[in-house]
Structure 1
Amino acid sequence: MARIGMLTPSSNTVLEPVTSRLLDDLNRESRDGRERCGVREAATAHFARVRVTEISLEARSDGQFADEPMLAAAALLADAKADLLVWNGTSGSWLGLERDLALVRAIEAATGIRATTSSLAMKEAYERLGVRRLGLVTPYADDVNARIAERYRELGLECAPALGCGIRENERFARVPEETIEAMIVEAAGSGRLDAIAVVCTNVNAASLAVRMESVLGIPVLDSVAATAWQALGLLGIDGRSLAGRWGRIFEYG
């Protein structure tokens, strides 16, 4: 059994239950197929919180993502003998992936445990799916979305369009109705020829919409929570392809 340690924004109420349901599905498949070998579970997730309450371009928002609180949370997860440590937040999408890569190096140096982030997971998903032009859907304010689009252009990705809800309080992201997220996904897909839709935020539940939306739209719908779990399983050498029919096309690349 692999243990995934997830550094979690303090006001996030989505990623824990969604990740747990996703891994429950995976573990059910593992028990059904491998119980005679004595394997009970493929992976479990364990969470430590880091204070994050606001998403904006202000210095007070950026300061929430400093290394010190991240390393403190990572140390607690290291006590649980986690096999992988994940910053399950998308701050790297507007602060830049170099910030995430530096955090990964700091966590690995401090704990000796391999690390990654949600933004690095999304980048890998884009690469695996051959995405160059995407529709961006977030709960964020327009200035944050514009910064994400700018960072994505640096990676060779075009965001056309970038749709948001204008919210800055992180806890409120989870209150955006699934119907609203679904409507935004459909609106984004109608803007032109896209390679994928990306829902960038780990505090909105687009994971449960992905399969239905992919069937309707004919393109991948990437949810940040699901993509993070997908990459984590891959880094741990766990086959997650059985999840594709319930959690999205990206798991076909498990």
Structure 2
Amino acid sequence: MNAHTLLPPNPRLIGTITPSGNTVVERTTQAALRDLPQAAALFARIPVHGDRDPFPDRYNLAAMLEAATLLSHARPDAIIWNGSKGGGIGLEHDRDLVARITDATGIAADTSGLALLRAIAASGVQSIGLLTPYAEAHQRRLVERLNAEGVPVVSERHLGMTDNLSYASVPYDTILLQARSLAAQKPDVLLAWCTNYPAAPLAAEIEAETGIPLWDATMLGLLGGLAVAGVAERPNGWGSLSGLL
């Protein structure tokens, strides 16, 4: 392997904002882009950690826009919020966020939540089985808000967890059990909705076993960024979602 393989010239840059307590977004993004030299990711963090959110019903826009501005110094081709909070507070906040980022930086933006809406529109799915690590109250709110956005959640499984960092520690076997339980109810799609929940590497395995597509919030954010940045190629080995967006 030579230096040209390691550092391809002039890749499309995906500026990615992620929560400070998240350990999954960078790992998933870098792994997915490993065989896609046309694109590379840059990262910035905002304060989101622990089990208490000082902004329970909205985004911390000051932190979001500071992160976007810092990313803009590298002139990325897209800036994305790879976070799942919009699902629980309402995706009107995501629409407002991308408009503010573009107004502030001149760079096109996207979010995992808005990519989810496009995936639903492109596929025409009628039923979704939702799997998360969340606690009961958070899960109820999430289902309610997603349904209000036209995301047809008809069944769900959650793990009762509250600390942001703990989401990343969910074993693969636990996620597989959640997915199998939901798959038995025959939804059109399984949706793993938490960007600090390591479901993305299991997508191909779950799809092969159940015959049901698995969409992951982190991959939705990344694929949205690739589309906004004008990258036509998609990662291989991460499930059928890559061929949809």
Instruction: Tell me if TM exceeds 0.5.
Output: yes
1:68 paired residue number: 62
Specify which of 244, 249, 253 is matched with residue 240 of structure 2. 249
Return the alpha-carbon distance in structure 1 between the equivalents of residues 107 and 227 of structure 2: 16
Structure 1: stretches of 5+ with no match in the other structure: 28-41
1:232 paired residue number: 225
Answer yes or no: is 1:43 the counterpart of 2:53: no
What root-mean-square deviation, in Å, do the aligned CA atoms of Structure 1 and Structure 2 show? 1.6
Between 1:197-206 and 1:126-135, the stretch displaced more is: 126-135
1:166 paired residue number: 160
Contact 2:13–2:229 (CA under 8 A) maintained in structure 1: no
Return the alpha-carbon distance in structure 2 between the equivalents of residues 152 and 99 of structure 1: 13
Return the alpha-carbon distance in structure 2 between the equivalents of residues 187 and 237 of structure 1: 37
Specify which of 2, 5, 15 is matched with residue 25 of structure 2. 15
Task: Detail structure 1 runs of 4+ shifted over 3 Å in the superposition.
Answer: none
Say which structure, 1 or 2, has more relative contact order (CA 8 Å, 6+ apart): 2
Structure 2: stretches of 5+ with no match in the other structure: 1-10
TM-score, normalising length: structure 2: 0.91
1:218 paired residue number: 211
Shift of 1:64: 7.7
Contact 1:132–1:156 (CA under 8 A) maintained in structure 2: no
1:32 paired residue number: none
TM-score, normalising length: structure 1: 0.88
1:196 paired residue number: 189
Shift of 1:253: 2.5
* Percent sequence identity over aligned pairs: 37
Q: Secondary structure at the match of 1:100?
A: helix
The aligned length equals: 235
Whose helix proportion is higher, 1 or 2?
1
Return the alpha-carbon distance in structure 1 between the equivalents of residues 120 and 150 of structure 2: 11
Return the alpha-carbon distance in structure 2 between the equivalents of residues 143 and 25 of structure 1: 39
Q: Secondary structure at the match of 2:117?
A: helix
Specify which of 153, 156, 161 is matched with residue 150 of structure 2. 156
